Chain A
Amino acid sequence: MKRDKRSFRVAMMADRYVNAAPGGVDGVAAAEEAGWGVLQLPPDDYPADLVKLLLFEVAEQAEEFSRRGYDLVLVGRHDGLAEALAGVGLPLPDSSMPLTTAELVDFFGARPIPRAMAELGELAGD
């Protein structure tokens, strides 16, 4: 497959970091700065049945990223995520509960080279 501009790095991210309150940790800004994609977790205010449906879809997508060797991490937490991931055979990935946006950028920056990228013969930082 031809290489494009993707980073092979995906952060499952709690809604409060995607839609950050003023002064809060801005997960989207951190992802933009570090070159990560975001897989948003369901908002906390949705009905439980809807959250379960959305978490199932998150897990299915996470499974495809994982099996293809993309780096997958969790930013924040979400009740029910561990069960949804277990349903597709995935454990909870490495995670961060950042207190600042800069801390999250550092977390992203410290991750190893994704297997998918290594398999394409790329080097870290390319």
Chain B
Amino acid sequence: MGVAFVAHCLLNQNSKVGDGAHCAGVYSPIVDALRQKGWRIEQMPCPELAFSGLNRFWGVREQYDTAAYRRHCARLAAAVAEAIGVRTGQGEEIVLIGVEGSPSMGVTITSSDPTRGGRPEWPEGTLEHVNGEGIYIEELRKALESRGLRFPRVAGETHATEGHDENAERAALEATLDRQS
């Protein structure tokens, strides 16, 4: 089939921001679908884990979008782009599996709220979700482009998005996997 470069937390929910883990460890709805369809799995580093730690707050793009965090993401992305280059050179199909709604790992939906900062006081809700890529995904796009590599097709885990439906998530993933590049 090919190689799926997956967000770290899809194999390890322990990396999630507090109150964000949907299961004990492996997020089976995505991982099992990849395995059943014969895709090789390669785990990308979690950009937020090493930078902000396990006790980090939930954040939006504007809070993470610092020069230092971009340099961190660019460093991670450079290694992953090299890995994608190796697999592409071997003739493998590549798919990128991110996390929708994430300020770092969103592939088509990220989170944005320019007013957030200081003492937390915003209400519960998911109004911060907007179309777009997370910061790490943007840096990965740049790293691939700088190496003359095509940005792969993408799918995302959708737990954090409004109206999440596991069947719809899997159908979207399978449609992405089955699509000819």
Q: Given contacts A36-B25, A40-B11, A47-B86, are A68 and B16 in contact (CB under 8 A)?
A: no
Q: Is the CB of A64 within 8 A of B54?
A: yes
- Determine the chain A residues whose CB is within 8 A of the CB of B26 once the complex forms: 28, 31-32, 36-38
**Interface size grouping (class) on chain A:** 35 or more
Secondary structure type dominating chain A contacts? mixed
Min Cβ gap A67→B in Å is 9
**Interface: A39 (CB within 8 A):** yes
Q: Is the CB of A68 within 8 A of B54?
A: yes
Size of the chain B interface, CB-CB below 8 angstroms:
36
Contact of A7 among B22, B24, B82, B86 (CB under 8 A): B24
Q: Residue of B at shortest CB range from A42? A: B83
**Interface: A43 (CB within 8 A):** yes
Q: Is the CB of B41 within 8 A of A19?
A: yes
- Determine the chain B residues whose CB is within 8 A of the CB of A5 once the complex forms: 13, 21-24
CA–CA, A39 and B46, complex, Å: 10
Secondary structure type dominating chain B contacts? mixed
Q: Is the CB of B49 within 8 A of A6?
A: no
Q: Is the CB of A57 within 8 A of B86?
A: no
- Determine the chain B residues whose CB is within 8 A of the CB of A1 once the complex forms: 18-19, 55
Min Cβ gap A16→B in Å is 12
- Determine the chain A residues whose CB is within 8 A of the CB of B12 once the complex forms: 10, 37-39
| Smallest CB-CB A-B distances: 6 pairs | A37-B12, A35-B24, A37-B25, A6-B21, A7-B24, A40-B43
Chain B contacts to A: CB under 8 angstroms = 8, 11-16, 18-26, 28, 31, 35, 40-43, 45-46, 49-50, 53-55, 76, 78-79, 82-83, 86
Known: A4-B21, A58-B45. 12 other contacts (CB 8 A): A5-B24, A6-B13, A6-B24, A7-B24, A10-B14, A28-B35, A37-B12, A39-B8, A45-B86, A54-B83, A57-B45, A65-B54
